[in-house]
A and B are shown apart, each in its own frame.
Chain A
Amino acid sequence: MTVARFWRKIPNRYNLIGTHCTTCGEHYFPPRQMCPTCRRDGKIENHKFEGKGEVVTYTVIHTAAKGYEMQAPYNLAVIKLDEGPSLTGQVVCGKEEMEIGMRVRSVFRKLGEESEKGMIYYGTKFVPE
Chain B
Amino acid sequence: MKVGIVSYGAYVPRYRIKLEEIAAVWGDDAKSIIGGLKVNEKSVPGLDEDAITIAVEAARNAINRGNVDVSRLGAIYCGSESHPYAVKPTSTIVAAAVEAEPNLTAADFEFACKAGTAAIQTCMGLVGAGMIDIGLAIGSDVSQGAPGDALEYTAAAGGAAYIIGSSDLTAVIEDTFSFTTDTPDFWRREGMPYPEHGGRFTGEPGYFKHVTSAATGLMDKIGTKPSDYDYAVFHQPNGKFPQNVARKLGFTPEQIKAGLVVPRLGNTYSGSCMIGLAAILDQAVEGDRIFMTAFGSGAGSDAFSITVTDKIEEIRDAGPKVEELLQNPIYMDYATYAKHKGKIKV
Contacts and interface: CB of A to CB of B under 8 A. Distances in A.
Interface of A: 10-11, 14-15, 48, 69-71, 90, 92, 94, 107-111, 119-120, 122, 125
A107 B97 CA distance: 11
A108 B57 contact: yes
A109 B96 contact: no
6 contacts: A15-B97, A15-B99, A92-B46, A110-B52, A120-B84, A122-B53
A92 B97 contact: no
Contacts of A11: 96
B290 to A, nearest CB: 29
B339 interface: yes
A90 B53 CA distance: 15
Interface of B: 46-50, 52-53, 56-57, 60, 84-85, 88, 93, 96-97, 99, 330, 339, 344, 346
B85 A120 contact: yes
Contact of A14 (B47, B48, B57, B97): B97
Contacts of A48: 99
Given A15-B97, A92-B46, A109-B49, 9 more contacts: A11-B96, A14-B96, A71-B47, A94-B330, A110-B48, A119-B88, A120-B50, A122-B53, A125-B48
B85 A70 contact: no
Given A15-B97, A15-B99, A120-B84, A110 B57 contact: no
Chain A to chain B: the 7 pairs with minimum beta-carbon distance, closest first: A109-B48, A108-B56, A110-B48, A14-B97, A71-B47, A108-B53, A109-B53
Contacts of A15: 97, 99
A49 to B, nearest CB: 13
Contacts of B88: 119
B52 A122 contact: yes
Scoring B48, B50, B93, B97 by chain A CB atoms within 10 A of each residue's CB, the highest score goes to B48
B53 to A, nearest CB: 5
Contact of B60 (A69, A108, A125): A108
Contacts of A69: 346
Contacts of A108: 53, 56-57, 60, 97
Contact of B48 (A10, A92, A94, A119): A92
